Amino acid sequence: MALNLVYLTIVAAFGSAVLPILFCRSTVASKLVAFILLGISGLSGILGGGMALLGKVDISAELPIGLPWLHCHLHLDPLSGFFLFLVSLISLMAAIYGSAYVREYQQGSQPLLPLTLFTGLFVVGMDLVMLADDAFSFMIAWELMSVSSYFLVAYQHQNETNRRAAFIYLLMAQIGGLFILLGYGVLASFSGAFDFSSMQAVELSPAWSSLAFVLALIGFGMKAGIVPLHVWLPQAHPVAPSHISALMSGVMLKVAIYGFIRFVYDLLGNIYWQWGVMVLSIGCISAILGVLYALMQHDLKRLLAYHSVENIGIIYMGLGLSMIFAGTNHLELATLGLIAALYHCLNHALFKSLLFLGAGAILQQSREHNLEKMGGLIKRMPVTAFCFLIGCISISALPPFNGFVSEWLTFQTALQGTILTNHILTALIPISAAVLALTGALAAACFVKVYGVCFLGLPRSQNCAEATETAYGPQLSQILLAALCLFFGVFPTWTVSQIENIAQILLPTGIPMATSHGWLWLTPVSSDVASYGAPMVFLGIGSAWLIVWLWLHPRRKKMEIRIAPAWDCGFGSLNARMQYTATSFTMPIRRIFRPVWFISENYQQPGENAPGGRYELKVGDWAWLKIYQLIGRLLLATAKRAAFIQGGNIRIYLVYSFFTLLFLLWVVSL
């Protein structure tokens, strides 16, 4: 049953890509067919993936397609079911959201058909990655996902920024795919086969398994967006349509996490604690740098993209802790770290998709990308403002919402580092816990800035002053995601018990103490160490808010609401220029962490062109400036030096060909 639902998921997603071509004469009909089928794909994937996770399904299948000597192998288990559930859930939200969101493309010069075509293929690629059970099928699905998402990033290709972002994304995606292919090549060379079951049966030496691990870490990490392989992410996410940004940040990055977990925990099997140190260190660097770079951004979607780097870092911290404990034979703590990472995958998919969909509604209704030109939207877009607030609270890891639970579980894993005897690990793990705490505090500060500047105060532009609430479809998708953020925050015990099914297969062990006190209390290690009663916290916070609201509400005192101008201290009427800006809000943090960024500040004295003066701040990414631009310059210099080969003389070309042929014959004869 579960596998049949998964087949329906793929067929419906593929239908959403190709069937709209038959209705290309009617844009409305084409759009409806695409998004209805995408919604069906999402619903069936939620059911199929959920059944695989909850029912501990383990089903294999072989399709008579692929290479003549290698058919397509498929496998559905709790791990693939969990990530298929995530992809399908966000695909369903994108289908609900996208039908109304793409109306502006129906009337513009940009054709809608490429958008629906590559959206469907993008979802098909992600679904097939989850099911692939051999390296060949996996790489075909991976490339389908990467190439189709390239066309989505380049959808509005008339803009140079979009073309540049799409090129960088495709280039890094292909380099990452090459590393993944080499990682599978190491396993295939020893197993003599490409199917995953044969690779699992091979026992590699520490040197070869470490080489395969590093190749997988680079390949999957480049798609996930770990530092310093993240530079494509803040360029691609802001230029893609918003429901595509939600799919890319919400679930495509998780597909990379899935691939890494499958490769390390399932195919390699024997995990060394040194790998965990590497993953934990990368996670800490990605988390802290991601949130610091996000703090300095004023483009709303670019800011959210950097927060994806931060949250991927938190996921890698959980995986790193899990691998350290697995390598030191503390399997229950390894399970706790793995569950924390998987829980954060779920949470990040929910609240980051919610925030990207909310950002899309804001940008579409206000026509503003820059936070410095926003303000006052809470009165004009109340539903979006409420849902966006829930997303901000969730990503800031505040109870009772879901982001708090997964980060708390990661903390609990790190706090158990004292059980280890290795002095390197006992020094590193507390540092990682401190980094996680600092990351959470900076994330909260960042979203106070975002929400305050965007929704509160007075409008800073005419577009924001005239903005209206978005259509019902985008509102519904945001409300559903906000409700899920609350659900998975209030019922973590049930969620952990279901995710535990994955750990029991990969490690294999569980954490029975976590759910031993029923659904009211989550005790990851034991009730004597730490416990969290999420339902009680929710009831406490809800009751406090209700009491305050009833006490302060004017109707209780039979008073009429009187609206009057705000007190201006006698200096005249208030205006938008008197408000805090995003730049001024982050100035203290910028002064403290200044070496982290490449900062260029320019102040123009008051004059004829700028009566009030002008201040410009540019914040650059050191990874892009010092690594990627340097590599680009070296490649261009090398290409110029090699240009003399193209002399235009046919005789010289024949000489090159002749000596190349002699060299190849000599190599073959060895």
pLDDT tens column, 477-498: 999 999 999 999 999 999 999 9
Q: How confident is the model at residue 630 (pLDDT cuts 50, 70, 90)?
A: confident
CA dihedral 521, 526, 529, 530 (to 10 degrees): -20
The CA distance from 354 to 479, in Å, is 9
The phi, psi pair for 531, rounded to 5°, reads -150, 155
Q: What does the pLDDT read at residue 608? A: 61
Q: What does the pLDDT read at residue 275? A: 94
Tell me the mean pLDDT in the region 359-363.
92
Res 370 pLDDT > 90: no
Strand partners, 617: 601
Please write the tens of the pLDDT for every residue from 231-285.
999 999 888 899 999 999 999 999 999 999 999 999 998 899 999 999 999 999 9
Q: Which residues contact 192 (CB under 8 A, 6 or more apart)?
A: 198
Q: How confident is the model at residue 45 (pLDDT cuts 50, 70, 90)?
A: very high
CA dihedral 366, 369, 373, 378 (to 10 degrees): 50
Q: Are 259 and 129 in contact (CB under 8 A)?
A: yes
Q: How confident is the model at residue 121 (pLDDT cuts 50, 70, 90)?
A: very high
The CA distance from 234 to 302, in Å, is 5
- Sequence-ordered strand ranges (E) for 90-239: none
Q: What does the pLDDT read at residue 618? A: 79
Q: What does the pLDDT read at residue 178? A: 95
Q: What does the pLDDT read at residue 13? A: 95
The CA distance from 184 to 213, in Å, is 10
Please write the tens of the pLDDT for every residue from 564-598.
777 777 666 777 777 888 888 888 888 888 888 88
Tell me the mean pLDDT in the region 82-93.
96
Q: What does the pLDDT read at residue 413? A: 93
The phi, psi pair for 604, rounded to 5°, reads -105, 125
Res 181 pLDDT > 90: yes
What's the DSSP call for residue 192?
Answer: S
Q: How confident is the model at residue 421 (pLDDT cuts 50, 70, 90)?
A: confident
Tell me the mean pLDDT in the region 639-643.
76
For 63: left if phi > 0, alpha if psi spans -120 to 50, otherwise beta; the answer is beta
The burial of 610, by beta-carbon neighbours within 10 Å (0-12 exposed, 13-18 middle, 19 or more buried), is given as exposed
Which of 425-439, 546-560, 581-595 is most confident? 425-439
Q: How confident is the model at residue 325 (pLDDT cuts 50, 70, 90)?
A: very high
Tell me the mean pLDDT in the region 50-62.
90
Q: How confident is the model at residue 647 (pLDDT cuts 50, 70, 90)?
A: low
Res 398 pLDDT > 70: yes
Q: Of residues 222 and 584, which shows the higher confidence score?
A: 222
Which of 156-170, 441-455, 561-575, 656-670 is most confident? 441-455
Which tokens hold the place of 540? Answer: 């406490």
The CA distance from 670 to 661, in Å, is 15
Alpha helical stretches, state H, 553-628: 582-585, 587-592, 622-623
Q: What does the pLDDT read at residue 362? A: 93
Q: What does the pLDDT read at residue 316? A: 96
Q: Of residues 556 and 638, which shows the higher confidence score?
A: 638
Q: Is 65 helix (H, G, I), strand (E, B) or coil?
A: strand
Res 556 pLDDT > 60: no
Q: Of residues 263 and 159, which shows the higher confidence score?
A: 263
What's the DSSP call for residue 68?
Answer: T
Q: What does the pLDDT read at residue 61? A: 87
Q: Of residues 343 and 513, which shows the higher confidence score?
A: 343
pTM: 0.92
Please write the tens of the pLDDT for every residue from 524-535.
887 777 888 888
The CA distance from 300 to 365, in Å, is 14
Average pLDDT, the chain: 88
Q: What does the pLDDT read at residue 599? A: 79
Tell me the mean pLDDT in the region 280-302.
93
Q: What does the pLDDT read at residue 491? A: 92
